[in-house]
Amino acid sequence: MKRRDLMVAGGAIFCVIGGRQLLLAQRSPFDFRDLSSLPGFRLLDAGPVSGARSMLVGLDAKDNAARVDQIRANPRPALFPSAATGKLPIAIFGDFNCPYCRVISKHMVIVARTNPVVSVDWHDLALLGPGSERSLRAATAARFQNAYLPVHETLMTRLLRPGPNALRTLADDHGMDAAVFIEDQNSARTQAFISDTNAVSDAMGIGVTPVTVVGKTLVIGAIALDDLDRLIDLEISEI
């Protein structure tokens, strides 16, 4: 390739990259709203949602009224249990059968694994029926065998069929003790974890999915991924 051609090609690449950066820089600022019910947090309405808080979730939260009040008074420890000094904490509330959650989840798994300044906590809800409940219990049980994230990724891509055979296969695929995993689907520790997650969602006023809490910003709905990245960069700059 001639020198002149190289210069033209290089200029074209520069224009594409530079133009994209300029476009992102010129995008409208976020339309944040204060949350009077949650001091220290702000709200961003971002896009479509799936599901709605079920009666069962509401009843569970009422049974956990003291825990809900405790979280509401100081939400960050329950919302961001993995938070560390100097890192931007992110919490994701999703349902395994929510199509918008699947897109955000896939993106955030990459962010969690590649951005050393970010810590991500996953809060699973079951708002979309029995299939969501099965996946929720399986993902929760996987936490007790240190297999949550790979199981989360699997359940975000396929429906978990009912019955022990599907659970046994899931356990085998991810190196878990199948007998313990199956038993934990309805164990006291699994139910306690789910109840506490419901208390966190109730304290934060969350009854739909997806909801992403990025630092101090509560994002309701399916935010565009480039906007999510832009918000993460903004929140990191404010740490």
Distance between CA atoms of residues 193 and 199, nearest Å? 10
Task: For residues 194 and 186, give the distance between their C-alpha atoms in angstroms, rounded to a whole number.
Answer: 11
- Overall pTM > 0.75: yes
pLDDT of residue 164: 97
> What is the structure's pLDDT at 28?
66
State pLDDT tens for residues 148-186: 999 999 999 999 999 999 999 999 999 999 999 999 999
Q: Is 191 a residue whose pLDDT tops 70?
A: yes
Alpha helices in 26-75 (DSSP H): 55-63, 65-73
Which pLDDT value is given to residue 62? 57
* Structure-model confidence comparison of residues 163 and 17, the more confident one: 163
Q: How far is Cα 48 from Cα 208, in angstroms, rounded to an integer?
A: 10
**In this prediction, what percent of the chain has a pLDDT beyond 90?**
74
Buried b / exposed e along 156-195 (16+ C-beta atoms within 10 A)? beeebeeeeeebeebbeebebeeeebbebeebeebeebbb
